[in-house]
Structures are given as structure tokens and as C-alpha cells.
Amino acid sequence: MDLQIAAGIVPLLGWAVHGGILTRRLATARRDPLTGLHTRAGWTARAEHCIRRHPTAAVLLVDLDHFKTLNDTHGHAAGDAALIATADRLRTWCGRNGTAGRLGGDEFVAVVRDLAAADLDALTAALHQPLPYDGTCLPLAASVGVCHLADLPAPLLTDALAAADAAMYAAKGRGRRGSCSSR
């Protein structure tokens, strides 16, 4: 090989390797390390894209009920198992119809293109299934708030999240373990 060609290829290889490392780090930064769901930043970008393309989209906010009690009673490893199970159930429910994320703590979020096709009752039932853990069954429950983007004056993600948050707290106010729509 010609020395000039080799001298030109070596820096290009270095930049290619560096670019690959940066791409992997960025992808890792946009995923929650515990659940594998998108982080707030990664989910927000996907959600905004979805609501621009699908005016019938809905935004959901999911908060685990009595999570602190579960953690205090069964330990943090059990709490982590509950978070992972919730993430898996939400991801499965979204399927190809939407995207799920973890905002932090025991708060999750999702956006779906068509809520009617997604079956909210199926999500609520899945989130309330007990979790087998270390020879016992952990009771899981969640409150779900829903905002249909068509109900907003302008389809903005921040407004949808605020409406879903209000609906989620309304569900908690009704004794938890359920869902509530912003309608």
C-alpha cells in the first residue's frame, strides 16, 4: 500500500471509530438503563414527531400507585423489578402503535397514534397484574391519565402532558387503580 494512501486512511478510520462510539453513547443516553425505555429527551423527540403526523394521537401518563410502600416493604430490588415489569407491560401495549418512556422514578409516559386501536382497558388490566418476585406476589397498580390531542386547541406536547397529568391525578383521587381521560 502506498504510504500516502495509508496516511490518509488512518485518520479516517479514527474518525469512523470515534463517530461510532459517540453514536452508541447518544443512544445509551436516550434510554433508561433500568427499564430500557426512552428517557424524557428520547421520548419527547419521538412523541413530538408522532403528534405532528397523527392528529388522533393520545398522550398517557402512568404513575405507579403505592410505589414507596412497595419499596419500603419489599426492598429496592423489588421496586426495580416492579419498574421493569411496568416498562415491559407498557412497551408491549404500545407495540407499533406508539412509544413509551420513563420520565423518572415511578412515572411513565406513552404516546399512541390511535387510542381506540390500543385498548386502554387492556393496558389498565396489564398494569394491575401482580408480579411474581422472590417467592411472593407483589401487588402492582397504576393510575393512568389520558389526553386526546384532538381535544386540545392546539396539538402541543406540553399541553397534552399537562392534561394527562391532571387526568392521572383525577384517577388517583377516585381511589387509584384506574384511568381517567381529559375529556
Q: Give the residue numbers marked as catalytic.
A: 106
- Which residues fall within 8 angstroms of residue 174, CB to CB, at 6 or more apart? 180
Closest by alpha carbon to 67, among 140, 169, 168? 140
Cell 397498580 locates to 141
Rounded CA gap, 78 and 132, in Å? 10
Task: Give me 156's grid cell.
Answer: 402541543
Work out the burial of residue 74: count CB atoms within 10 Å of its CB; fewer than 13 is exposed, 13-18 middle, 19 or more buried: middle
Burial 86-106 (b: 16+ CB within 10 A, else e): bbebbbebbeebbbbbbbeeb
Residue pair 84/74 in contact by the 8 Å Cβ criterion: no
